[in-house]
């Protein structure tokens, strides 16, 4: 991977604490050659770094005196804690000292702070949380996964275009297919929002709209990009994570019931490990907050060190594609910008 700059990492975000995030940053620097800036209480971060083998690795530390807890109100914490690790990491990106940031902390706070300091891309009304999910074919990008739970039709149209740009540039899918998540494939299916969005996407010139897709189409990889509202997308994500955990546990339980099965499992272990890795969300890195003017990756709160390393990899890959400029240009050409932007007024952040 050709890396053009540093990735700032919120060192104290996540359920497992500083040690896991630091170990993940070390892994990213070693495996992918990505320079990393760890943001958090400097004394604690440096102490944790000394517990890891870091010789020859480009890892810097920036002090942050405060942290935002997982249970804090996102907007209130964003305003009340200007020196939090999330805020300082995002400021590193805004100042150009980092090409992007990663946090496994409070996702609502990450979004609030990102909007506060980075603002939205010109023409974007609402940001969306986007992530790739494993499929039979490769991976499908799904958005929104929780940023906007009650969107307007225009928001989903913009999500489709942002997903289109991401799939083309980051996933390297030329002319990606776009599906609208619904409770049936037919054009008349879905709630009021879906029925209003369908004709807008169908009429969008330059967007390869497949039509409605059902929940089963996500793991089947029917389309490259699945668009939905943040409430439905988040529920679908959690169901997918639960099914992945269930599948791996069932396989493990069945293979350890009898001695003949245990012996057979030794032969099949590489295949089962490969299946587990394909289902492991940590292998796909974090979710990107698309629509903010910068690269912001939200890792799962329960991320282990490998998931943190992969989230850093995703941040570096996304930052190299200049998505902000590409999204702004695409929305403008498609006529899918905000009304204020069409009249030359910069949209409010």
- Segment 163-202, tens digit of pLDDT: 999 999 999 999 999 999 999 998 889 999 999 999 999 9
pLDDT tens for 100-129 read: 999 999 999 999 999 999 999 999 999 999
How many Å apart are CA 125 and CA 152, to the nearest integer?
Answer: 10
Give CA 330 to chain center in angstroms. 21
pLDDT digits (tens, 9 = 90+) for 129-169: 999 988 887 889 999 999 999 999 999 999 999 999 999 99
- CA distances from residue 186 to 45, 212, 226 in whole angstroms, order as listed: 54, 7, 16
The residue that leads in pLDDT, 270 or 76, is 76
Given its phi and psi angles, is residue 335 left (phi above 0), alpha (psi -120 to 50 degrees) or beta?
left
DSSP 255-266: HTSSHHHHHHHH
Distance between CA atoms of residues 122 and 106, nearest Å: 26
> Do residues 100 and 316 touch, judged by C-beta distance below 8 A?
yes
Distance CA 306, CA 62 (A): 22
Q: Where are the domains of the chain?
A: 1-124+291-320, 125-283
Would the pLDDT of 215 be above 60? yes
pTM exceeding 0.85? yes
Q: How do residues 256-295 score in pLDDT, each as one tens digit?
A: 888 888 888 888 778 877 777 676 666 667 899 999 999 9
125-283 and 1-124+291-320 share a CATH fold: yes
pLDDT band at 348 (very low <50, low <70, confident <90, very high): very low
Q: Does domain 125-283 have CATH number 3.40.718.10?
A: yes
CATH code, 1-124+291-320? 3.40.718.10
Rg over alpha carbons for the chain, rounded to the nearest Å, is: 21
């Amino acid at each position: 991977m050709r890396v053009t700059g540093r990735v700032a990492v919120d060192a104290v975000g996540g359920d497992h604490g500083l040690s896991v995030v630091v170990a993940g940053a070390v892994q990213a620097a070693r495996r992918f050659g990505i320079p990393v800036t760890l943001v958090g209480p400097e004394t604690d971060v440096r102490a944790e770094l000394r517990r890891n083998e870091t010789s020859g690795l480009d890892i810097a530390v920036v002090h942050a005196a405060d942290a935002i807890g997982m249970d804090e109100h996102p907007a209130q914490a964003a305003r009340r804690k200007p020196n939090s690790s999330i805020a300082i990491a995002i400021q590193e990106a805004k100042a150009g000292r980092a090409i992007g940031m990663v946090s496994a902390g409070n996702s609502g706070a990450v979004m609030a702070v990102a909007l506060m300091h980075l603002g939205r891309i010109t023409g974007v009304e609402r940001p969306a949380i986007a992530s790739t999910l494993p499929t039979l074919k490769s991976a499908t990008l799904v958005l929104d996964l929780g940023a906007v739970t009650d969107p307007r039709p225009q928001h989903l149209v913009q999500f489709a275009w942002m997903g289109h740009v991401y799939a083309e540039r980051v996933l390297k899918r030329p002319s990606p297919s776009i599906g609208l998540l619904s409770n049936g494939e037919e054009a008349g299916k879905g709630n009021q929002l879906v029925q209003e969005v369908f004709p807008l996407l169908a009429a969008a010139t330059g967007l390869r709209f497949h039509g409605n897709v059902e929940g089963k189409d996500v793991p089947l990889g029917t389309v490259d990009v699945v668009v939905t509202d943040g409430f439905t997308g988040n529920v679908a994500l959690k169901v997918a994570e639960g099914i992945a955990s269930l599948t791996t546990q069932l396989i493990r339980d069945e293979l350890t019931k009898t001695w003949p099965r245990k012996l057979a499992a030794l032969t099949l272990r590489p295949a089962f490990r490969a299946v587990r890795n394909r289902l492991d969300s940590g292998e796909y890195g974090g979710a990107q907050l698309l629509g903010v003017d910068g690269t912001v990756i939200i890792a799962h709160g329960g991320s282990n060190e490998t998931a943190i390393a992969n989230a850093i990899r995703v941040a570096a890959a996304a930052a190299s594609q200049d998505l902000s400029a590409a999204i702004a240009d695409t929305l403008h050409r498609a006529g899918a910008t905000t009304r204020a932007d069409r009249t030359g007024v910069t949209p409010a952040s």
